[in-house]
Amino acid sequence: MEFSVIDEKTISPTVIKVVGVGGGGSNAVNRMIDAGIKNVQFIVANTDLQALGGSKAPVKIGIGSKLTGGLGAGGKPEVGEKAAQEDIDAISNALKGADMVFITAGMGGGTGTGAAPIIAQAAKEQGILTVGVVTKPFHFEGRVKMRLAEDGIAKLHEQVDTLIVIPNQNLLNIVEKTTPVKQAFLVADDVLRQGVQGISDLITRPGEVNIDFADVKTVMKGKGDAILGIGKGEGNSRAIDAATEAINNPLLEDSHIEGAKNILIHISCGETLSLAETNEIVDTVTETADPDVFIIYGQAVDPAMGDGVAVTVIATEFPNGKNAYASSAASFGEKKSADDDNLVSYNQWETIGHGSKSSSTFDFPSRSQSDSSSSLSASFGSGTSSFARSVRRPSESAAEKPQKSPFPSSSASTARSKDDIEIPACLRTNRISLDND
């Protein structure tokens, strides 16, 4: 029997590329380069040639210069999309040779929102494992920008293998009120940095129980939405602390891991981690996953970690093809629908407003109910006054009503404000019957 010896020099290393698209994506790449990420190649693509000149990425692609004259996309995703299509050959050439590509962008603007799906499609056509890591706007940036972001995310979702969404709004729940803007964005970028560095490390560093690129591909190729987290722990409860932190990332759209069908778990630790602690980590991570979850587990000993433990988790393929992105859109839609259900007819308001009639149809709220109504508006940040309960005039028939959408157009919102009358807080209820709606 003959045996062949594999020369490690002949094994092709896994090539990981990070593409920052638009202003937000380019800024994220700059901060990753500053953080010293290794074993990764950086690319940026932008319509704004002046901003592109300030990028630290070694590969810079100006897109759509014929279309925009070297200026930005003006906040129009359709311009960003056409710009990427204009220079698709340059984009495809820059992606060649990659095994895995991370595409990062700030959704809601012009270039990132429009160009990211086109770049992802170019990577997909080359058979590259493609992962999207994108941010959504703050609530104070308005509904129009949020709607553009959601549309862009939906298009990107169709082109990437897995997608990770980071709402910027979540930063307000994490950072101190006095945290400077630049430092706050560093926190958001950390999700991308940890993801890229974590995957790079587990692929390139051999371990006691090894994980390679084929394992990563098994978990992430064509799996839709993903949750990615890294947790660290020390002391007596280090194993559970690290695992719990890894699956509860407060920055993600929704870090719940319930029902996941594929989970990759990689443990980095010193030489003292026991088998029982390893079991605790895997049990904690997979506790709410699908009963038949497919688990890929790896472990690497790093003496430099001492008594510390680091756990990297990638979870994919959630029930009904949903998790973070889908559940967020549904949640937003449910809250909007609830608001529409609290519209009462103009005649009803006339009756109640003049105090000429008492009706069991209108139950006056308790203080807790009023507080609940207030917290609903507060949860959407600024610009939520249109969520206040209002009165629709009887002239608007059911046939004339616009289709309900989680992101109503600004014109529709304006039309309502002209014809509707807001019910004072003292008269608001959790549920009001609709006679003429």
Domain segments of the chain as ranges: 10-204, 223-334, 342-427
- CB burial string 67-88: b at 16+ within 10 A, e below: bbeeebbeebbebbbbbbbbbb
* Amino acid at residue number 196: V
Which of 39-43, 70-74, 174-178 comes out lowest in average pLDDT? 174-178
Measured in degrees and rounded to the nearest 5, phi and psi for residue 56 equal -95, 0
Annotated binding site for GTP: 23-27, 110-112, 141, 145, 189
Binding-site residue positions: 23-27, 110-112, 141, 145, 189
**What is the average pLDDT value for the chain, to the nearest integer?**
77
Query: Domain 223-334 belongs to what topology?
Result: 60s Ribosomal Protein L30; Chain: A; (3.30.1330)
pLDDT at 87 over 70: yes
Q: What is the mean pLDDT of residues 58-67?
A: 97
pLDDT of 380 reads 31
What are φ and ψ of residue 19, in 5° steps? -115, 115
Percent of the chain with pLDDT over 90: 51
pLDDT at 392 over 50: no
> Which of the four pLDDT bands, split at 50, 70 and 90, describes residue 174?
confident
Q: Are 199 and 216 in contact (CB under 8 A)?
A: yes
370-379 mean pLDDT: 36
Nearest C-alpha neighbor of 137 from the set 314, 318, 332: 332
User: What is the per-residue pLDDT for 102?
Assistant: 95
- Identical fold between 10-204 and 223-334: no
CATH number 3.40.50.1440 given to 10-204:
yes
